[in-house]
Amino acid sequence: MLGLPAGIQACLFDLDGVLTDTAAVHAAAWKEMFDEFLRDYSAQHGIAFVPFDARAEYDAYVDGKPRASGVRDFLAARHIVLPDGSPDDPPAAMTVNGLGNRKNEAVQRRIRTDGVHVFEGSRRYLQAVEQAGLRRAVVSSSANTREVLDVTGLAQYVEEVVDGVTIRTEHLLGKPAPDTFLAAAARFGVAPSAAAVFEDALAGVSAGRAGHFGQVVGVDRVGQAAGLKAQGADIVVRDLADLLEDK
Ligand SMILES: O=P(O)(O)OC[C@H]1O[C@@H](O)[C@H](O)[C@@H](O)[C@@H]1O
């Protein structure tokens, strides 16, 4: 009925791009921040300005990872090294954390002015999972997870949240490490083999595979089904409603 193997007791959902259409919001905010930074950096260093590719570079280096890892991994791909700085660096600081905070201002402005779109198939799937009596957690790298769950009304379906704030306070490794998903399963007292992971990001699917979860469902919103499969997704769907029998 839920399109999952027998024995699954808990569902661990990524947020951005799986439940809500916020992966696109994040990608746009990253582009706004990185393009501004790259324009300044290339002028200062006398090199050509090459804009951030909000599809290829976002998917490969940023999507699904904690904020600072996204900054660091993208800069490394462009052979740019900045000091880490500290989490409370101002948005104008030329540090990994400063750039991350600048991006966070952009993402929060977009969430608050444009609102957040919930994928209707995901809302229906969450309701079906609840009715079937399975446990439900959201596992996201985003420190904005609680705000998004609140403004969309999705919070009512979710029993546990492991997010960007949890990563900081509990010193967890972010995706592609499996630790955030493992922490969510542990909160339910459910073995990884009895939990399903739902992910749209390459780093997130890798995390699900590395944690040996019972089922890793890749959610392909942007035409990267082959990449999700290559990272180890057991199945790939275009929408969570595709898993429901009565679509
Ligand atoms: O900057 P935030 O809101 O803490 O989110 C961190 C990351 O969270 C992930 O869920 C998104 O896929 C990324 O795009 C985002 O960068």
Pocket flag, ligand 1, residue 135 (CB < 6 Å)? no
Three-state helix/strand/coil letters over the chain: CCCCCCCCCEEEECCECCCECCHHHHHHHHHHHHHHHHHHHHHHHCCCCCCCCCCHHHHHHHCCCCHHHHHHHHHHHCCCCCCCCCCCCCCCCCCHHHHHHHHHHHHHHHHHHHCCCECHHHHHHHHHHHHCCCEEEEECCCCCHHHHHHHHCHHHHCCEEECHHHHHHCCCCCCCCCHHHHHHHHHHCCCHHHEEEEECCHHHHHHHHHCCCCEEEEECCCCCHHHHHHCCCCEEECCHHHHCCCC
150 is annotated as an active-site residue: no
Is any atom of ligand 1 closer than 6 Å to the C-beta of 231?
no
- Closest-CA residue, ligand 1 atom 11, reads 64
Q: So what's the pLDDT on residue 55?
A: 95
Q: Is the ipTM of this complex over 0.90?
A: yes
Pair type for strands 215-219 and 10-13: unpaired
179 labelled catalytic = no
What tokens were used for 226? Answer: 């082959």
14, 89, 200, 234: the active-site residue: 14
pLDDT at 246 over 90: no
Instruction: Determine the pLDDT at residue 42.
Output: 97
Cα 219 to ligand 1 centroid, rounded to whole Å: 17
Q: Where residue 239 falls among pLDDT bands split at 50, 70, 90?
A: very high
Q: 161 - beta bridge partners?
A: 138
Q: What CATH homologous superfamily does 10-21+117-243 map to?
A: HAD superfamily/HAD-like (3.40.50.1000)
For the chain, domain boundaries:
10-21+117-243, 24-114
**Identity of the residue numbered 179:** D
Return the percentage of the chain with pLDDT > 90, whole number. Answer: 97
Query: Is residue 64 in contact with ligand 1, taking CB distance under 6 Å?
Result: yes
| Residue with token string 């977009």 | 110
**Comparing C-alpha atoms, which of 67, 22, 62 is closest to residue 165?**
67
Centre of ligand 1 to C-alpha 246, Å, is 32
Mean pLDDT of the chain, nearest integer: 97
Ligand 1 midpoint to CA 23 (Å): 8
The residue contributing the CA closest to ligand 1 atom 1 is 67
pTM of the full structure:
0.95
Model pLDDT for residues 15-29, shown as the tens digit of each residue: 999 999 999 999 999
* pLDDT tens per residue, range 123-140: 999 999 999 999 999 999
Q: How confident is the model at residue 57 (pLDDT cuts 50, 70, 90)?
A: very high
Q: Which of 26, 146, 169, 199 to mutate to test the pocket of ligand 1 (most atoms within 8 A of CB)?
A: 26
Atom index in ligand 1 nearest the CA of residue 140 equals 10
Chain segment 110-126, per-residue pLDDT in tens: 999 989 999 999 999 99
